[in-house]
Amino acid sequence: MGLELRDLSKHFTVRSDRGKATVRAVERVNLGIPEGQTVALVGESGCGKTTIAKLVLKLETPTSGAVTFDGKSLEEMSRKEIKDYRRQVQAVFQDPYASLNPRLTVRRIITEPILAHYKRDRATLNARVAELLEIVGLPPRAADLYPHEFSGGQRQRIAIARALALNPRIIILDEPISALDVSIRAQVLNLLMDIQEKFGLTYLLIAHDLALVEHLSTRVAVIYLGSVVETGESEQIFAAPKHPYTQALLNAVPRPDPDYVPKAAEGFDDTGSALEPPSGCKFHLRCPHAMAVCKTDNPPLIKLADGREAACHLLSGPPPAQV
C-alpha cells in the first residue's frame, strides 16, 4: 500500500499587519504514491511542496487529514511503529554542503542511522559502509575522509549512501540535484535511477526543475498555493497539460530560441498567496482563460477521460460567459 496523503491540510498562524492570519500552506491534498514509482510534486517556491515533504517526514503535524503508511495514519502509530516508519522512509536534501555534519567522517555519517536502529559490531558496520560506498560509486578510502574533502556531487553520493543505509522503501528527494554543478547533475540523476531499479525504491520528488521531473518521475502532482491542480502520468502531463497553471509552468521552461516568450507567463503580476488566497479558483488572478465563475467558485479536482485529474472549470462542462 505504501504512502498516501489523505485530505491533508497544514495551516500556520502568523502575525501580519492586521493581526493574526492563517497561512494555508497545504489544502486538502489527496495523493497516492505507488510502490516502485517516482511521484513528483511540482510548483513554484512557496506552493506547499516542501511542507508536504515535512509532513511525510513527520517534521510537521497535519492540521487535518493524514499521511498514511500501509493504510495507517502516522498520527495513530505507536512509538515503535513511528521508529520503523522512520527507518523505511528516508530523505536526500538539496544541499549536500549543509546536510552532512562536517565534524564526522563519512563512516560515522553512514553508520549513525544504522546504530540508531540496530546493535551492530564494528566489522559488520565497516562491511556495510564499504558496500554502500561501492553502490554510490565512491572508493573504500572515502570512509575515513570528511565531507569538506569531497566535491558537491561526491557529497550528494554520500547523502544517498546514508539514505540507503537502513534499506528504506521510500526516499524523499528534495531538489536532489539543483545545488550541483550542471556537469555532474546527470551522473547523480543516473545513480538515483540505478538504485531505484536495483532496490525497488519509491521516490517522492520535490523539484522545480521540470527537465528533472520529466526525466525521473512516473507521476506528477502540480501544486498551486497549497492545492493539487493537476495530477496524472508524467508522460500525459508533459505531452498535453490540461490545467492552465500546468501549461504556464511548462511554457516557462527555458527554450533555446532567444526570441521565445513564455505565453502564459505574460501579465502575471498579481499572484495571490497562501496567506490571502484569492476567492474561487486560486489561479484566477493569473489565468489567461479566467471566466466569471472562476472568481467565485473553486473548481473541484475531477477525473478526466484519460485518467488524470485536474481542477479547472474549463474541464468540467460548457464554458460560462467570459469576464
Q: Which residues bind ligand SF4 (CB under 6 A)?
A: 244, 281, 283-284, 287, 289-291, 294, 299, 312-314
Task: For residues 29 and 7, give the distance between their C-alpha atoms in angstroms, rounded to a whole number.
Answer: 5
Q: Which is nearer to ligand SF4, 185 or 284 (CB)?
A: 284
Angle, helices 122-135/106-117, rounded to nearest 10 degrees: 120
Q: Which residues, listed in sequence order, are joined to residue 223 by a DSSP beta bridge?
A: 228
Q: How far is CA 39 from CA 105, 129, 216, 222, 236, in A?
A: 33, 29, 9, 11, 14
Task: For residues 164 and 305, give the distance between their C-alpha atoms in angstroms, rounded to a whole number.
Answer: 39
Q: Which is nearer to ligand SF4, 203 or 283 (CB)?
A: 283
Task: For residues 229 and 221, give the distance between their C-alpha atoms in angstroms, rounded to a whole number.
Answer: 8
| 192 contacts 137 by C-beta, under 8 angstroms | no
CB of 221 to ligand SF4, least distance (A): 16
CB of 247 to ligand SF4, least distance (A): 9
CB of 231 to ligand SF4, least distance (A): 15
CB of 93 to ligand SF4, least distance (A): 32
| 61 contacts 26 by C-beta, under 8 angstroms | no
Q: Which is nearer to ligand SF4, 204 or 294 (CB)?
A: 294
Q: Which is nearer to ligand SF4, 188 or 312 (CB)?
A: 312
C-alpha cell at 183: 556537469
Q: Which is nearer to ligand SF4, 124 or 279 (CB)?
A: 279
CB of 23 to ligand SF4, least distance (A): 21
DSSP annotation of 230 reads: E
220: enclosing H helix or E strand:
strand 219-224
| 45: number of Cβ within 10 Å | 7
Q: Which is nearer to ligand SF4, 145 or 285 (CB)?
A: 285
CB of 310 to ligand SF4, least distance (A): 9
Q: Which is nearer to ligand SF4, 143 or 312 (CB)?
A: 312
CB of 315 to ligand SF4, least distance (A): 7
Residue 38 sits at φ, ψ, to 5 deg, of -115, 115
| 136 contacts 161 by C-beta, under 8 angstroms | yes
Q: Which is nearer to ligand SF4, 48 or 241 (CB)?
A: 241
H-helix segments, the chain: 49-56, 79-88, 106-117, 122-135, 152-164, 182-199, 210-216, 234-239, 244-251, 292-296
CB of 314 to ligand SF4, least distance (A): 5
